[in-house]
Amino acid sequence: MIEQLPIINLLLLLGTALIIPLFKKRPFQLSLTLCFLVLLTVLVSSVFLLIHVLEYGEFYYHFGNHENLIGIEFLIDAFSAFFTVFVAALVLVIYLYSWKDKTEGIENKEFGRYYILLFILLFSIFGILYSNDLFNTYVFIEILSITSCAIISIKRKKETYTAAFRYVMLNEIASMSYLLGVALIYMITGHLNLERVATSLQSIWPLYSTNIIIAIGFMTIGVGIKAAIFPFHIWLPDAHATAPSTSSAILSGIVVKIYILVLVKLLFRVFGMEIVEALHIKWIMLILGSAGMIMGSIFAIAQKDVKRMLGYSSVAQIGYIILGIGLFTEAGLQAAFFHIISHGIMKAALFLSVGVIIYYKHVQKLKDFEGIGYQMPISMTVFSFGALGMVGIPLTSGFISKFNLGIAVIDANLIFFLIIIILSGLLNVVYYFPIVISAFLKDNKEMQKIPHIEKVPNIMLIPILTLGVAIVVLGLFPNLIMDIIVSVVATLF
């Protein structure tokens, strides 16, 4: 029975997406409850899977009882099980927020479609994480890219269309180059299964090295565009800034991370350390990561719009993750994975609290944030926690990930990058602190007269508070997930 859980998860998500259209004439509340129950079930079963995998080790799922030579295979190990739990939990929280969130341009009638897209998106993410097949991953990546574009353009505003269009174009270029890479790999190995490709790449690496280099180039550039690694980040700020807040949280917290995980899978499971070292991918990633950290922060300082600023901040934080992966040590990978989790939570908290503010105040410019802490204390507090976490103040989860990253860098004898981490942290201070300070500490008498207008429904506040608490809890007790991450990383080496 437990072997069937992954496919049952996928079918539950898919089935919900197919059923939602039938609820058109029925009471809306019913379908919302159904969606909630499905998400909860999926979360519980992924947790169950994670426990099972940690206890008894990885297992494979073969479609149609065909072995991996001829058929498609799922690999459920600590890596995929852990990240599915993370994705399911974060989506559940964001979903709760969007329950009452009839905000920001998503029209009432669109909500059915929004949830269909959300569930297909989750379906594809689960598929990408479980899948152990290059072409199957491509199919899921395509589903993910079309749905992630659609949850941007569902907001009927002028700017969304151009942002979504640019995102579609880059997505499709990226998918095509990934597919060309798969073609080149298939040409010389004759396999699509990750493990079989890896073993045969090891043996033919000296024979067809040019070919393999070109294939790796195409595949990593394809995934890199989607993951918004530094020079390819041009789509990200527009897309994140114009999307509805819930979509921004999903895009920034989850979708981008999934592509990074695909990159990790490719680098560690397919190409293997020998090829990676021969091609100096380590240095490319380290340089791109640190460039992203610095440039993303510098761009963020110049922004006037708060969501656009958060988008550029994402670019910088992705730089941290890439830097951690680029070290190719266990410590670096642990730090990177921890940062994936903590950045996901923090960015979701930031975008959702900004969403509340935008909903009630209809302001999106940074200068309008003065004194908002008096009017909307709860959401602004959560925002501050997120911001402090981004900067890396102790007691937040952001501190732990930066601390771990610093230690990993020192372990790898690359002190230069420690300087960049600190510099980037300082740059983060430059653009996050003024908002917090002007929101709370502005001694403005007019502001104190205005009673706080925060009449947010509880169902929206609970998710925000949960995320805020999660930031602090992870900052205080990082071992809650660090222990699991250690065993996750162990599966990759």
Partner 1 sequence: MIILQKILENINYLGGIALFLIGLHTVVTHSNLIKRIIGLNIMGTGVFLFFVAIGNVTGGEPPIMTEDNIGAIFINPLPSVLILTGIVVVVSMTVYSLSLVIRIFETYGTIDQKELTRLISEQNNHD
Partner 2 sequence: MKKIIIWILFIALFLILSIGIFDMPTSPTLDAPSYNETIHYYLENGVNETGAINIVTAVITDYRGFDTLGETIVLFAAIVAVSSVLRIPSKKNEEEAQKHE
Partner 3 sequence: MNDTILKSITRIIVPFIQVYGVFIILHGHLSPGGGFSGGALIGTSLILFTLVFGVKKAKVKFSERVAEISGSAGIIIYVLVGIVGLVLAGSFLTNIEAGFPAGVAGTLMSAGMIPIIMIGIGIKVASTMITLFHTLVEEEVR
228-252 CB burial, b ≥16 within 10 A, e <16? bbbebbebbbbbbbbbbbbbbbbbb
Residues near partner 2 (CB under 8 A) are 14, 17-18, 63-64, 66, 69-72, 107, 109-110, 113-114, 116-117, 120, 123-124, 127, 135-136, 139-140, 142-143, 146-147, 149-150, 153-154, 156, 161, 186-191, 204, 208, 210-211, 213-214
User: Do residues 295 and 318 make contact, with C-beta atoms less than 8 angstroms apart?
Assistant: no
- Distance from C-alpha of 286 to C-alpha of 456, rounded to nearest angstrom: 43
Q: Between 21 and 190, whose beta carbon lies closer to partner 3? A: 21
Cβ proximity of 364 and 483 under 8 Å? no
Which C-beta is closer to partner 1: that of 168 or that of 335?
Answer: 168
Q: Judged by CB, which is closer to partner 2: 64, or 451?
A: 64
Minimum CB separation from partner 1 for residue 230, in Å?
A: 19
Segment holding 347, helix H or strand E: helix 330-361
Q: How far apart are CA 363 and CA 369, in angstroms?
A: 8
State yes or no: residue 162 binds partner 1 (CB under 8 A): yes
Least distance (Å) between residue 116 CB and partner 1:
14
Residue 466 in contact with partner 1, rule: CB under 8 A: no
CB of 187 to partner 2, least distance (A): 6
Neighbours of 21 (CB within 10 A): 11
Nearer to partner 2, 84 or 153 (CB): 153
- Return the ∠ at Cα 227 (arms to 222 and 232), rounded to 5°: 70
Considering the complex, what minimum distance in angstroms separates the CB of residue 114 from partner 3? 17
Instruction: Give CA–CA dist 36/17, Å, rounded.
Output: 12
CB of 3 to partner 2, least distance (A): 16
Cα–Cα distance between 236 and 258 in angstroms, integer? 15
What, of partner 1, partner 3, partner 2, none, does residue 123 touch, CB below 5 to 8 Å by kind?
partner 2
CA 155 to CA 110: how far, in whole Å? Answer: 9
As a whole number of angstroms, the distance between CA 124 and CA 330 comes to 28
Q: Which among partner 3, partner 1, partner 2, none contacts residue 179 (Cβ within 5 to 8 A by kind)?
A: partner 1
DSSP string, 65-113: G--TTTS-EEEE-HHHHHHHHHHHHHHHHHHHHHHS---TT--GGGHHH
Q: Residue 62: which H helix or E strand, with range?
A: strand 59-62
CA–CA separation, 177 and 223 (whole Å)? 9
**Overall residue count recorded for the chain in this entry:** 493
Locate 132 and state its tokens.
Answer: 């152990």
Query: Which of these ranges, 79-87, 173-181, 222-230, 410-418, lies near partner 1 under the rule CB under 8 A?
Result: 173-181
By CB under 8 A, is residue 186 in contact with partner 1? yes
Q: How far is the CB of 355 from partner 1 (least distance, A)?
A: 20
Closest CA to 468 of 361, 358, 345: 345
Q: Which of partner 3, partner 1, partner 2, none sits in contact with 117, Cβ below 5 to 8 A by type?
A: partner 2
Among 36, 59, 161, 208, binds partner 1 (CB under 8 A): 161
Residue 61 interacting entry, from partner 2, partner 3, partner 1, none, C-beta within 5 to 8 Å by type: partner 3
Integer Cα distance of 317 and 34 in angstroms: 35
Residue 62 binds which one of partner 1, partner 3, partner 2, none, with CB within 5 to 8 A depending on kind? partner 3
Q: Which one of partner 2, partner 1, partner 3, none interacts with residue 169, CB within 5 to 8 A by kind? A: partner 1
- The least CB distance from residue 112 to partner 1, in Å, is 18
Stretch that binds partner 1, among 49-57, 138-146, 318-326, 411-419 (CB under 8 A): 138-146
Residue ranges that bind partner 3, judged by CB under 8 A: 4, 7, 11, 14-15, 18, 21-22, 61-65
Q: How far is the CB of 8 from partner 2 (least distance, A)?
A: 14
Q: Is 60 in the site for partner 1 (CB under 8 A)?
A: no
Q: Which of 146, 378, 462, 482 binds partner 1 (CB under 8 A)?
A: 146
Nearest CA-CA partner of 94 in 255, 313, 236: 255
Bridge partners (DSSP) listed for residue 462? none
Spatial distance between the Cα atoms of 10 and 125, rounded to a whole number of angstroms: 10
CA distance 339 to 215: 29
Residue 172 sits in the site that holds partner 1 (CB under 8 A): yes
Supply the minimum distance, in Å, between the C-beta of residue 211 and partner 2.
5
Residue 376 CB partners (closer than 8 Å, separation 6+): 356, 357, 360, 361, 452, 453, 454
Q: How far apart are CA 218 and CA 224, in angstroms?
A: 10
Select 59 or 208, whichever has its Cβ closest to partner 1.
208
Residue 3 binds partner 1, judged by CB under 8 A: no
- Comparing CB distances to partner 3, the nearer of 17 and 281 is 17
Least gap, CB of 114 to partner 2 (angstroms): 8
User: Residue 18, interface with partner 1 (CB under 8 A)?
Assistant: no
173 is an interface residue for partner 1 by CB under 8 A: yes
Beta strand ranges found along 255-396 (DSSP E): none
Residues in contact with partner 1 by CB under 8 A are 135, 139, 142, 145-146, 149-150, 153, 158-159, 161-162, 164-165, 168-169, 171-173, 175-176, 179-180, 183, 186-187
